[in-house]
Amino acid sequence: MSESTTLHERVVIIGSGPAGWTAAIYSARAEMNPFVIEGGISRTMIPGGQLMFTTEVENYPGFKHGVDGQTLMLDMKEQALRFGTRVLTEDVVEIDPAQYPFRLVTTGGTEVFADAVIVATGANAKWIGLANEERLAQSGGGVSACAVCDGALPHFRNQVLAVVGGGDTAMEDALYLTKFAKEVVIVHRRDELRASKIMAERALANEKITFAWNSVVTEVFGDDVITGLRLQDTVTGEERELEVGGLFVAIGHEPNTGFLQDVVDLKDNGYVKTPIPWRTQTSVPGIFAAGDVMDDYYRQAVTAAGTGCMAALDAERWLAHGGVDAHPGEVAAGH
């Protein structure tokens, strides 16, 4: 679209993961004619979200033999398109919450006015930042940022698996992986855990879990699949190699909310705050949030899809009850 393009849409959905496409499917079937701004391509994200880097999804209901992550996302997109969803492959860089209809601006200069907005931009897993780590993560070569998603896959069973991190997520991932692994090695840069006392005690007491203290991963070995790691001691600088059949990076996630600063209320960790439990409404009436951008706890494809459904229903009902016209001044007041 040209820089001068201006659109006015009933419902704009920002993002194209399970939450975004589910919201589009529900909105389209409700004849709200949704417009999806699916995002552009960057080093760590592409349209379709994190599942586009997942080769096999075994825990999404309805696929008894599992499904390739890309296939799942492309099928969701096709389902949304079937009901008339329209798509723009750009990023949103600006939202004006004080102007109604809400004014959105994209990287391509497209100006979109929306009666309701559903934010479903997801979150980025934090990676160590090693070239082969990211390559193997994207190719399905045994590197993952989601133990619950991938840990039960056949090629991880009875292997020595490494988990990088020292917080609760790393302990939860390590404990989960003990169900399938021969051994789980937690690699942590310090000599004590950041995890809560109860989670640390559980990990320390588990006979399948060992610790590589004061250690960081400096290299990931393997061509088609991971074969090992190079660890460096943070105190002495000494290096050693660790043979592993899988690497799970558990050093946190970053929600894709940079463009939402001063737009809606965010939690201290950057995730979108939804003030009312079990609702997707944000601090600004008419702007809703779904998926990993507002979920810092479950972060699963199926829960993201569920909140996408919720956001579409919430938006439909808000608009049906008059939207901002039914509550003058609310949008302008913001948070």
Catalytic residues: 146, 149-150
Distances (CA, A) of 289 to 198, 269, 302: 32, 16, 16
Q: How many whole angstroms separate alpha carbon 227 and alpha carbon 115?
A: 52
Are the CB atoms for 115 and 11 separated by under 8 Å?
Answer: yes
Tokens 């860089």 locate to: 93
**Alpha-carbon dihedral angle through residues 192, 197, 199, 202, given to the nearest 10 degrees:** 90
Burial of 99 (0-12, 13-18, 19+ CB in 10 A): exposed
Q: Which residues contact 14 (CB under 8 A, 6 or more apart)?
A: 20, 36, 37, 39, 92, 104, 117, 118, 119, 120, 121
Q: Could you tell me the sign of the dihedral formed by the alpha carbons of 291, 292, 296, 302, in that order?
A: positive
Tokens 């492959």 locate to: 89
Burial of 47 (0-12, 13-18, 19+ CB in 10 A): buried
For the chain, helix, strand, coil in percent to 5 are 30, 25, 45
